[in-house]
Amino acid sequence: MRGVVLHAPGDVRVEDRPDPTIIEPTDAIIRVTAACVCGSDLWPYRGVEKLDGPVAMGHEYVGVVEEVGSQVSTIRPGQFVVGSFWASDNTCEICRSGYQSACIHRLLMGTIGTQAEYARIPLADGTLVATPGMPDADLVPSLLAASDVLGTGWFATVAAQAGPGKTVAVVGDGAVGLCAVLAARQLGAERIIVMSRHAARQDLARRFGATDIVTERGDEGVARIKELTGGLGAHSVVEAVGTQESMTQAIGSTRPGGHMGFVGVSHDVSLPGDELFFSLVHLHGGPAPVRQYLPELIDLIWNRQIDPGQVFDLTVPLDQAAEAYRAMDERRAIKALLLP
């Protein structure tokens, strides 16, 4: 099969890789209908994250089940499925508490590489959720978004306790930040402020429900959020970048007693204890337990109540994956969809 392999920073190739086979009796093999490039794939692509030799890439996927192992009982060949970027059993105590991304048997799908024609899905019964039927083609991008960016934005927004009467601020205008805007709207937030300097992303944020745009960053960005919230800061703040600047900005934008949900993969962030102490802010975040939200998100997409697939503003054949990475790296594309 064909699959994306990152050889070195900036060196993306589409190569022949071995066809996946059932290894564990709890595995399924899917034919990938659509995959995509994640903002987090850009960390190794840019050389920020260390790379040990060539690695298969990709952790977001939707597809059709081809084959299942002998112990798989609920997932069947022929089903269209969506799964999280963490494989999880969905039965252990941590999973049952809603934290499937910390499942005691978890496995990161990025170690398998779903930017490919086929993928092995471990713990298939726990990881995958089947759609009610074969989706119309126009629903596929939204279902793919549920696999990571929508689920991650959703978790951040829930962690930030967005809801009716609340003002939500979103730091980061990538696909996750934009999906957090959509989530905040769905959860009934009264006012949604997105921090963005990029015209196309501002437009999409407004379509997803943003009421205010803040273009300032750092201390000026914090001051602007305070100005918009009567000097108090937002009730709920989503951090969707993962840098020192974005974390500092997010904490500073949250009012005392407010909640901050952080889902940008943290890179070289250190928080000063004294500032944290005096902030009186609730912090909750980490790798999102997307699996917890999949049934609800699939339902909203299937019934055409939300259209998160709009985050994909570039679609290319799998063989042109290198261009997809370049476009995202250069911020020419918000998010690139790959068609195997």
Residues that bind Zn ion (CB under 5 A): 88-89, 92, 95, 103
The residue type found at 195 is M
Q: How far is the CB of 97 from Zn ion (least distance, A)?
A: 9
Q: How far is the CB of 96 from Zn ion (least distance, A)?
A: 8
Q: Which residues contact 147 (CB under 8 A, 6 or more apart)?
A: 60, 61, 62, 82, 83, 84, 85, 290
| Closer residue to Zn ion (CB): 100 or 320 | 100
Q: How far is the CB of 93 from Zn ion (least distance, A)?
A: 8
Q: How far is the CB of 105 from Zn ion (least distance, A)?
A: 6
| Closer residue to Zn ion (CB): 106 or 185 | 106
* Cβ pair 193, 237 in contact under 8 A: no
- Give the three-state DSSP class for 89: coil
| Closer residue to Zn ion (CB): 88 or 152 | 88
Q: Is 147 left (phi over 0), alpha (psi -120 to 50) or beta?
A: alpha
Q: What's the CA gap between 284 and 190, in Å, rounded?
A: 21
Q: What's the CA gap between 21 and 23, in Å, rounded?
A: 6
C-alpha distances (whole Å) from 287 to each of 32, 100, 149 are 23, 10, 11
| Closer residue to Zn ion (CB): 95 or 159 | 95
| Closer residue to Zn ion (CB): 103 or 324 | 103
Q: How far is the CB of 184 from Zn ion (least distance, A)?
A: 28
Q: What's the CA gap between 213 and 192, in Å, rounded?
A: 9
Rounded to 5 degrees, φ, ψ at 138 are -75, -10
Q: How far is the CB of 310 from Zn ion (least distance, A)?
A: 32
| Closer residue to Zn ion (CB): 90 or 115 | 90
Take residue 123 and report the two structure tokens written for it: 């713990």
